[in-house]
């Protein structure tokens, strides 16, 4: 039996949908023939200028309700946050005591529905790892609707044995024979689950997609109005790159069309240009707007599978065992679909629409008074921050969430007027600790030392 048939048989046996199987087969064919998704600097041009979201006006109440009646919100919720020591959905982390990321998202949905009377549809794309936790959460929010109608389940695809180019086998833990296909799986999931057809049949025309750990990514009626009036099939929210974004993907142009280039697609020789934030000025926030009828037509025109570039990652079948067999893992990025639509557009949005929680430093900032939660469930930087979050750098004593929470049992320090905070060594905080300006906290003790109540700036030695 050919390798292609072996993969198809394995996926069919596991219940993988036909669109997902075909997407994998397309990516595998790229790998097999030696074609990769590399985008050298000579093939692309920088994006010079874009419309600004800050110039948009909010629609009136009547127009907002009419637009929202045709809109749906989809949150990507497949991440476990393993880099922070989590073994459940990252979106179940608490932002405030008893209030998780998903609680705030639920509050945003219900606020829109109650305020406008529009039945804003809500979807979550879970992974097999986050499904059970999330469905348990949804049971606490019956106002959102039935979990079966809300949940979309991300597919899984086989790892590829690098020596044989056949399905990887690992009897010690067969689950490790599989990997996630990247968030480009959004399109096979929408198609294969029937969700795309159901949304269209219900009169939904616009879909706003973002990550569940990005609490800055709320549905903005002004952006919805702009997208609807643009007539574009696809829109990407981008924002200006800063030095901390040098390694992140950026927007570019090839043959007059917008595209997304990730670091894995950049040849080593071009890495200097890739990381030049004055040359390639905009990065993808992963906040996307889709016109569903155009997506349906594009999928049909592409014979059922959007032609996304496949990123080929070489790893070991057991990521914790570097001596285990080498494998290829294929993945696609949902933002890469921008090049599948000749009339796709992008818009420059404020940095506040990109506030993901990737580290415990991000989590500490979010839990502090540097951020506020309004009555709609949206999270905003405090007015005093002038749109710029504090930069927080925590050493390995706080790499995991439980390590951070052990430091915060006495209280969360005030960061409202803090420009930067760097903490080295094990410390905890008393109630009433205030950091202002640029602060460095160092503890040379092997045991945890408490920072007493008070206002601090500069260097603090404990």
d(CA 264, CA 313): 8
What does pLDDT average to over the chain?
Answer: 93
* Residues 178/157, Cβ–Cβ less than 8 Å: yes
* Residues 382/371, Cβ–Cβ less than 8 Å: yes
CA distance to 192, 379, 457, per residue, from 72 (Å):
18, 20, 45
| C-alpha torsion 197→202→206→211, nearest 10 | -70
d(CA 273, CA 250): 11
CA distance to 92, 136, 159, per residue, from 15 (Å):
28, 23, 16
Three-point CA angle 70, 72, 73, nearest 5°: 150
The strand ranges marked E within 257-306 are 257-261, 282-291
Q: What is the pLDDT of residue 249?
A: 87
Q: Which residue has the tokens 């094990």?
A: 426
Q: What is the pLDDT of residue 80?
A: 81
Q: What is the pLDDT of residue 36?
A: 67
| Helix 3-13 and helix 18-32, axial crossing angle in degrees, nearest 10 | 150
Model confidence, pTM: 0.93
DSSP β-bridge partners for residue 240 = 282
* Structure confidence by residue, pLDDT tens digits, 370-423: 999 999 999 989 999 988 889 999 999 999 999 999 999 999 999 999 999 999
State the CATH class of domain 360-461: mainly beta
d(CA 235, CA 70): 17
CA distance to 15, 62, 65, per residue, from 118 (Å):
36, 10, 6
Query: Where in the chain are the domains?
Result: 3-353, 360-461
| DSSP-derived pairing of the beta strands 454-461 and 121-126 | unpaired
* Residues 36/245, Cβ–Cβ less than 8 Å: no
d(CA 387, CA 69): 31
Mean pLDDT for back-to-back runs of 10 residues, the chain (462 residues): 90 94 93 79 94 96 96 94 86 93 95 94 94 94 93 96 96 94 94 96 98 93 97 97 87 94 90 95 96 97 91 91 94 94 96 90 95 91 90 95 94 96 96 97 88 95 90
State the CATH class of domain 3-353: alpha beta
* Residues 80/86, Cβ–Cβ less than 8 Å: yes
* Residues 290/191, Cβ–Cβ less than 8 Å: no
d(CA 353, CA 6): 43
H/E element, 113: helix 101-116
H/E element, 330: strand 326-331
Nearest to 83 by CA among 445, 396, 446: 396
Residue 458: both structure tokens together: 């500069």
Chain-centroid distance of CA 291 in Å reads 20
Asked if the domains at 3-353 and 360-461 fall in one CATH topology, the answer is: no
Q: What is the pLDDT of residue 35?
A: 65
């Amino acid at each position: 039996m050919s390798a292609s048939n072996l993969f198809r048989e394995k996926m069919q046996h596991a219940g993988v949908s036909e669109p997902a199987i075909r997407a994998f087969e397309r990516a595998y064919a790229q790998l097999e023939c030696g074609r990769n998704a590399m985008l050298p600097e000579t093939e692309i041009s920088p994006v010079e200028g874009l419309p600004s979201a800050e110039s948009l006006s909010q629609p009136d109440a009547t127009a907002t309700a009419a637009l929202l009646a045709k809109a749906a919100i989809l949150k990507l919720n497949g991440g476990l946050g393993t880099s922070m020591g989590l073994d459940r959905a990252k979106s179940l982390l608490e932002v405030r005591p008893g209030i998780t990321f998903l609680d705030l998202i639920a509050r945003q949905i219900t606020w829109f529905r109650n305020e406008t009377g529009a039945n804003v549809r809500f979807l979550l794309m879970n992974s097999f790892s986050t499904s059970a936790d999330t469905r348990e959460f949804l049971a606490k929010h019956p106002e959102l609707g039935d979990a079966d109608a809300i949940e979309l389940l991300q597919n899984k695809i086989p790892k590829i044995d690098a020596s044989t180019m056949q399905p990887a086998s690992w009897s010690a833990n067969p689950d490790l024979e599989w990997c996630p296909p990247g968030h480009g799986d959004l399109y096979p999931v929408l198609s294969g689950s029937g969700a795309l057809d159901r949304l269209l049949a219900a009169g939904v025309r616009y879909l706003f997609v973002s990550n569940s750990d990005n609490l800055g990514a709320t549905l903005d009626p002004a952006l919805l109005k702009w997208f609807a009036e643009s007539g574009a099939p696809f829109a990407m929210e981008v924002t200006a790159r800063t030095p901390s974004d040098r390694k992140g993907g950026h927007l570019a142009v090839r043959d007059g069309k917008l595209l997304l280039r990730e670091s894995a697609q950049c040849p080593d020789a071009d890495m200097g240009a890739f990381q030049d934030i004055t040359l390639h000025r905009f990065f993808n926030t992963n906040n996307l707007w889709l016109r569903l009828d155009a997506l349906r037509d594009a999928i049909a025109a592409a014979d059922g599978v959007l032609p996304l570039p496949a990123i080929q990652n070489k790893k070991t079948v057991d990521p914790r065992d570097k001596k285990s067999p080498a494998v290829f893992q294929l993945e696609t990025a949902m933002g890469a679909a921008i090049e599948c639509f000749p009339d796709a557009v992008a818009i420059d949005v404020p940095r506040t629409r990109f506030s993901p929680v990737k580290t415990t430093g991000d989590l500490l900032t979010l839990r502090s008074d540097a951020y506020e939660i309004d009555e709609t469930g949206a999270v905003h930087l405090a007015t005093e921050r002038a749109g710029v979050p504090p930069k927080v750098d925590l050493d390995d004593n706080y790499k995991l969430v439980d390590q951070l929470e052990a430091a915060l049992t006495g209280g969360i320090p005030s960061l409202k007027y803090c420009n930067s905070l760097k903490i080295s060594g094990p410390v905890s905080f008393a109630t009433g600790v205030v950091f202002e300006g640029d602060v460095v906290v160092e503890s040379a003790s092997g045991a945890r030392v408490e920072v007493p109540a008070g206002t601090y700036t500069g260097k603090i030695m404990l």
